[in-house]
Amino acid sequence: MEFIQNFIIVFVLLLFVWEPLVRAQPPSSSRSSLDTTLQDYAYRAFHRPKTGRPYNAQVPSNFSGIKLSVMRLRWGSLIRRGVPRFKEFEIPAGVVEQPYVERLALVYQNLGNWSSIYYALSGYSFLAPVLGLLAYDATNISATNLRELDINATRGPISIHFTDVRTVPSGLTARCVWFDLDGFPNFSDLMTNNVCLTSHQGHFSIVVASTAPAPAPESNIPGNVKKNRGSKVWKIVGPILGFLVLVLLGLVVWRMRRYWKNRKISEMERQSEGGPPLQMTTIGNLRVPTAMGTRTPPILEDEYVP
């Protein structure tokens, strides 16, 4: 019974430690699932696709409001000439992808009214819909569940020209936000004419602080920005959480061993109490057990003398 009570206490402590951290994590699995679904529907727009030509794709009815487009490119063309205009994106020459593929596809997303659902940003309001630019292997245009390629602008940043932008509230400053593939936000300054810059793929928008001033910019190019403060906190909290879990698991193991040891001792005492009682005798002020008699009576040596 004592063991069960201790186990419950340890389990409750684990919940108190783990539950707030789980809530703090962004729903990356939901975003990843959305990207996978949109990649599948984007590739369906390919029908004898021509290189460098954008194709608008249809989204399922349960994602009504999302705009989707796709463009197939050769690696050599992308790195030599870039893409002058793909929706709101201007991609300069010098963009490379990893791992290397001969043909790749750029999938454009405009999440529209789904922006704040998949990319909720505490303390900020979106002034523009979230736009996505993701690269995939296009060697086989019938493939599904593809992983994103890692693209990097080496000669100059990719420009994002936002067209559907709400007016900035008086007294506040609009900022660019870039969500990396893990969903972590990175902030940078907004260029003139509602233009944001990046060196990597991901999801982008323009935001304004809704309750407090936005943090000071670390870089003008989101692609060169390190993880935001939240990711740094996770780097500190992660080892601490692991240590606490190890300590609590050690406590559970120790309590289990103690429980089974005490149970074994109790069983031995119970068995000893169930045996025949020993005869007691008094020696001084002590009572000690004594034998009922001796098996072989003593014989004096004189008895063998003739």
Over the stretch 209-247, which tens digit does the pLDDT of each residue have? 986 554 555 544 444 444 444 555 555 667 777 777 888
Give which of 172, 167, 165 is closest to 205, Cα–Cα: 165
| Dist CA 18 CA 247 (whole Å) | 14
pLDDT of residue 274: 61
| Dist CA 245 CA 298 (whole Å) | 68
Which tokens belong to 116? 């704040």
Global pTM reads 0.62
Q: What is the mean pLDDT of the chain?
A: 81
pLDDT of residue 242: 78
Choose between 93 and 18: higher pLDDT.
Answer: 93
Cα–chain center distance at 40? 24
pLDDT of residue 26: 42
H/E stretch holding 98 reads strand 95-98
pLDDT of residue 19: 45
pLDDT of residue 261: 79
Question: Any idea where the domains of the chain sit in the sequence?
Answer: 27-230
pLDDT grade for 293, boundaries at 50, 70 and 90: low
Q: What is the CA radius of gyration of the chain?
A: 36
Cβ atoms of 130 and 167 within 8 Å: the answer is no
Q: Specify whether domain 27-230 bears CATH 2.60.220.
A: yes
Query: Number of C-alpha atoms within 13 angstroms, CB side, residue 99?
Result: 4
Range from 43-52, 114-123, 178-187, 235-244 carrying the lowest mean pLDDT: 235-244
pLDDT of residue 269: 64
Which tokens belong to 194? 């509602």
pLDDT grade for 273, boundaries at 50, 70 and 90: low
Q: Give the DSSP letter string of 123-134.
A: TEEESS--EEEE
Q: According to the per-residue pLDDT averaged within each range, which of 67-71, 116-120, 221-225 is highest?
A: 67-71
Choose between 267 and 72: higher pLDDT.
Answer: 72
